[in-house]
A and B are shown apart, each in its own frame.
Chain A
Amino acid sequence: MSTNQVSRRDFLRVSGLAGTALCLGFYFPSSAKEAEIVNTSGVPKSEVELNAWIHIDTDGKVTIFNHRAEMGQGSFQSVPQIIAEELEVDLKEVNIILAQGNREKYGSQITGGSSTIRGSYKNLLKLSATARIMLITIAAKKWNVPITACYAESGHVLHKASGKKFHYGELVVDASKLEAPKEVVLKKISEYKLIRKPLHRQDTPLKTNGTAIFGLDKKLPGMLYATVERNPRLRGIVKSFDASAALKIPGVTKVFKVRMGVFNTFREGVAVVANSTWAAMQGKKALKVEWDDSGFEHINTTEIYRRQQEDLQTKEGLYLKKQGNPDDILRQEGKTIDVVYQTPYQSHSCMEPVNCVAHYQGDKVEIWGPIQAPEWVQDYISGQLGLPKEKVIVNMTFLGGGFGRKAFMDYPHEATMISKEIGAPVQVVWTREDDATQGPYRPGISYRCQGAIHNGEVTALKFRMSGQNNDHWRGGKTDQANRSTSEGFLKPYFDSIKNISFAEVQFETPVPTMWWRSVYASTNGFAYESFLDEVALAAGKDPLDLRRQYLQDERCQRLIDKMEEVSGWKKRKKNEGFGAAITECFSSTVGQIVKVSKDASGKIKIDQVWAVMDCGWYVNPDIIRAQVEGSIIMALGAATIHEITFKDGLVEQRNFYDYKMPRITDIPPIEVHIMENDADAGGVGEPGLPAFAPALTNAIFDLTGKRIRKLPFDLSAV
């Protein structure tokens, strides 16, 4: 296998893409819902280059473009694994290239919402099967036999009866003249050779010998390095600055003010350009900047939650969903529960701090970086600079983590503005402290949950959330409820519980917020699934039995069966605490069971986590297990170790010494099970996260009778 991260120009040179070849791509007409498959072999060189997604040359060499970011979730493996299956080629023989931003060619490239596979797999299967059928058609023609007498395998077309074979390379010239067939028959799951197999990731060798190129590893001839001192109060403007000390640092060449877009507003800072990262960092330390940050100095964590929780007691908010009349039931019937949950602001804290390389060249700009949404960056920079879109070239490197942070346009914009100012290529490096103190963050949220229980049955549920709405940062309407207010909550509950409402009590503060792995499900899940545990207790039901009773859906029932089976839920002993939670997001449902006990000193320890993932059709079971393991560990950190807090407009955490991460010593045994079915594919990168925190706190309640309603909490102090 060979994997390259090369520019489009390099690619043309090394692969001879401009020569005769079979090139298949999609056409994404803006009006049509479905992508159309097109044979782009005949079009002139420059257009072939723009439209080829699968490319097979006359030597039979196959090149596949991965249109999505690779940030650890495995798209670099899963996308080729799908294509190689229906194309009938060996994955080891395939050249994989990380694509550039290009909406017309690839459709949506934003790597978020766990959407890479579920959003693309049907098109990818069809595209690769189409290429295979075209190659078989030509072989059959050459042998003068029916198409059905031939089959494809390992990059060859074979004639069943005679055993004669053609290498794909021998067929591409003729195949490139065919119209792409409109209909193709896809393989059945039982016929898969690669899909659903735990194949080794193709990027592992690159990530174990130092050759994988992340954003921070990108180097260009003549490239300079820059750091930026940004307003420590998140926003506001530069009043004045003194660069004299910074300019005395050897290697520092230039200091100037820079302004970058932050969603629909902006941020200001002072850029320090130097001939090494270290010199730029020293220069930044030596700067003296006076800020005008009026309007932001009041932001305080305690005040944020006080306001949210006061409003939750007095305001109804905007309804996202309402069925029946929970208010009446809550007033009239039997037992009621009324409690508040609280979840913290969180930083993404990718191991690779935010960074970007930009080279502004007057009539065009080229960008390289750890970027989750290359086509968004292209649109944004093109709009900001008034350049045509094709003059803004956006290259994705490998991402050292993303989690939502790198789907944001501030840092490529900032790097572009700095390159423009100095007239040279530049790498802008955010220090860990910049990364921690500037955001955007997962919003901190309060939830008020009310429930009514009558004769042992749940008769009403009323949920209100108060926290920042990420959509408002991107121009979303403020007269509608946050569309994610019920994210994570399972849909079948709406069929079995007659009176339910979800409302958002709006809360605004100038802290920039953005998606954080599993987005609102990551916090909703804690509130709603903890609350269902409280409801089960009040109704005198076993927590899993309650879910089984109200989740009248076949896939949910099977998921619960599996959760019970793998964890021994029904055989749990007295001195063990068991907690369960089930959440759904991005079209996948995950159930988790956490088992806790007390160690010799009486402290809580997590003995085991069982996770059951139902993501429907899937590609690589080992990548799924890895994603769920990682999601659980990220959730463990967010539930028990770290949070972002604000004091007088400043973020109080700066680096891993005060925004601590889970370490190898903190990790409980984790067992991941995958449900087998052929339902439409769901997401994998995020849905494993939300159920962990409530399963843990429910387990702690089971063991100790202590209900935890505020995250994070100190596990050793329970």
Chain B
Amino acid sequence: MINLNINQKSYEVDADPDMPLLWAIRDLVGLTGTKYGCGVAQCGACVVHLNGEAVRSCVTKVSRAEGKKIVTIEGLSKNNDHPLQLAWNEVNVPQCGYCHSGQLMSAAVLLRENPNPTDEDIDSAMSGNICRCGTYPRIRKAIHLAAELHKKEGGTK
């Protein structure tokens, strides 16, 4: 059995230690917000936070996550009110929406590390996340807006 701490909750999972964290989260824990897109760390749909760092859960062995704090899209905020979630809504970013769990989790690390990102900063932090619907211009716009919202809130989130 492997113990996983996901969104501040503890889960015991009966997983092969080599199973990617993605499938443990989705199939064994039952949190389906984290998505499968490519399985080879190319698309970013599966990004989660592992001790605060953005990792691709499709290539991260579940054994590596043991004893660490995992945050998935379901744990990004309590009331869907992370500045990025508010900005995503304001700018109408998602179309099909499938990649946006990963987009948001990547963007959250960017904003934490860099509260005032430039277009170039955004491009470099977000270039690992594919969106087939082509919502990129809105992702960029929404990250700028989230940075503004974050400042107004006094940077508490």
Q: Given A214, A626, A631, which contacts B98 in the complex, CB threshold below 8 Å?
A: A214
> Which chain B residues in 67-101 approach chain A with CB under 8 Å?
72-74, 76-77, 80, 84-85, 88-90, 92-101
Of A185-193, A544-552, A653-661, the segment with at least 4 beta carbons within 8 Å of chain B is A653-661
Q: Is the CB of A663 within 8 A of B127?
A: yes
Q: Interface size bucket, B side? A: 35 or more
8 closest residue pairs by CB, A with B: A210-B33, A633-B134, A400-B98, A207-B97, A72-B96, A72-B95, A630-B134, A217-B32
* A72 / chain B contacts, CB cutoff of 8 Å: 94-97, 133
Least Cβ distance of A513 to chain B in Å?
19
Q: Which of A205, A276, A353, A630 contacts B89 (CB 8 A)?
A: A205
Contacts of B45 in A (CB 8 A): 351
What are some 19 contacts across the A-B interface (CB < 8 A)?
A74-B95, A201-B94, A204-B89, A208-B88, A208-B104, A210-B34, A276-B27, A277-B23, A350-B98, A350-B132, A352-B35, A432-B39, A626-B92, A655-B38, A657-B40, A665-B127, A667-B136, A669-B137, A670-B137
Kindly list chain A residues whose C-beta atoms are within 8 Å of the C-beta of B76: 209
Task: State whether the Cβ of A401 lies closer than 8 Å to any Cβ in chain B.
Answer: yes
CB proximity of A528 to chain B, nearest CB, Å: 24
Q: Mark B109-131, 1 if CB is under 8 A from A, else 0.
A: 00000000000001110110111
Complex partner residue of A398 from B72, B97, B99, CB under 8 angstroms: B97
| Residues of chain A within 8 A of B139, CB atoms compared | 664
Size of interface on A: residues with Cβ below 8 Å to B? 65
What is the distance, in angstroms, from B139's C-beta to the closest C-beta of chain A? Answer: 7
Is B133 a contact partner of A208 (Cβ separation < 8 A)? no
Which residues on A sit within 8 Å (CB–CB) of B132? 349-351, 401, 403, 634, 661
Residues in A neighbouring B85, C-beta threshold 8 A = 205, 208-209
Q: Quick one: which of A209, A399, A630 contacts B135, CB cutoff 8 A?
A: A630
Contact B96 A351 (CB under 8 A): yes
A622 within 8 Å of B by Cβ?
yes
Contact between chains at A667 and B28 (CB < 8 Å): no
With A204-B89, A276-B15, A276-B27 already in contact, 19 other A-B pairs whose C-beta atoms are closer than 8 Å: A74-B95, A204-B97, A207-B97, A208-B88, A208-B100, A209-B77, A216-B35, A216-B36, A250-B16, A277-B27, A351-B133, A352-B37, A400-B96, A632-B134, A633-B134, A634-B133, A656-B40, A656-B43, A669-B137
A residues with CB within 8 A of B: 71-74, 198, 200-201, 203-214, 216-217, 219, 225, 250-251, 276-279, 281, 349-353, 398-403, 429, 431-432, 622-623, 626-627, 629-634, 655-657, 661-665, 667, 669-670
Known: A656-B38, A661-B132. A207 touches B137 (CB 8 A): no
Flag if B43 contacts A351 (CB, 8 Å): yes
A205: chain B residues within 8 A (beta carbon)? 80, 85, 89
Whether A664 and B16, one on each chain, are in contact in the complex, defined by CB atoms closer than 8 angstroms, is: no
Q: Is B30 an interface residue (CB 8 A)?
A: yes
Please tell me if B42 contacts chain A, counting CB pairs below 8 Å. yes
A429 vs B98: C-alpha distance when bound (angstroms): 15
Indicate whether B2 reaches chain A with its CB closer than 8 angstroms.
no
Q: How far is the CA of A400 from the CA of B132 in the complex (A)?
A: 9
B151 interface residue per 8 A CB criterion: no
B residues near A, CB below 8 A? Answer: 15-16, 19-20, 23, 26-28, 30-40, 42-43, 45, 72-74, 76-77, 80, 84-85, 88-90, 92-101, 104, 122-124, 126-127, 129-140
Supposing A208-B89, A210-B73, A351-B45 touch, asked if A626 and B135 sit within 8 A by C-beta, the answer is yes
Known contacts being A277-B27, A398-B97, A664-B123, is A629 close to B19, with CB within 8 Å?
A: no
A120 and B132 alpha carbons, distance in the complex (Å): 27
Chain B residues near A71 (CB-CB < 8 A): 96
Contact of B74 among A210, A631, A663 (CB under 8 A): A210
Chain A nearest CB, measured from B87 CB (Å): 10
List the B side residues contacting A349 at CB < 8 Å.
Answer: 132
Residues of A within 8 A of B26 (CB): 277
Nearest-neighbor residue (CB-CB) of B23 within chain A? A278
Most buried by B among A276, A351, A353, A432: A351
Q: How far is the CA of A251 from the CA of B138 in the complex (A)?
A: 42
The answer to whether residues A207 and B134 also contact, given A225-B27, A656-B42, A665-B123 and a CB cut-off of 8 A, is no
* Chain B residues with CB below 8 A from A431, complex form: 39
**Cα–Cα distance between A279 and B93 once the two chains are bound (Å):** 35
B92 touches A219 (CB 8 A): no
Residue of A71, A204, A212, A670 with highest tally of chain B CB at under 10 A: A204
Which of B19, B20, B93 has most chain A Cβ within 10 Å? B19
Residues A278 and B100 in contact, CB atoms below 8 Å apart: no
* Chain B residues with CB below 8 A from A200, complex form: 89-90, 92
Q: Which residues of B contact A632 (CB under 8 A)?
A: 134
Q: A667: which B residues are within 8 A, CB to CB?
A: 134, 136-137
What's the minimum C-beta distance from A218 to chain B, rounded to whole angstroms?
9
Q: Which residue of A lies closest to B128 (CB)?
A: A663
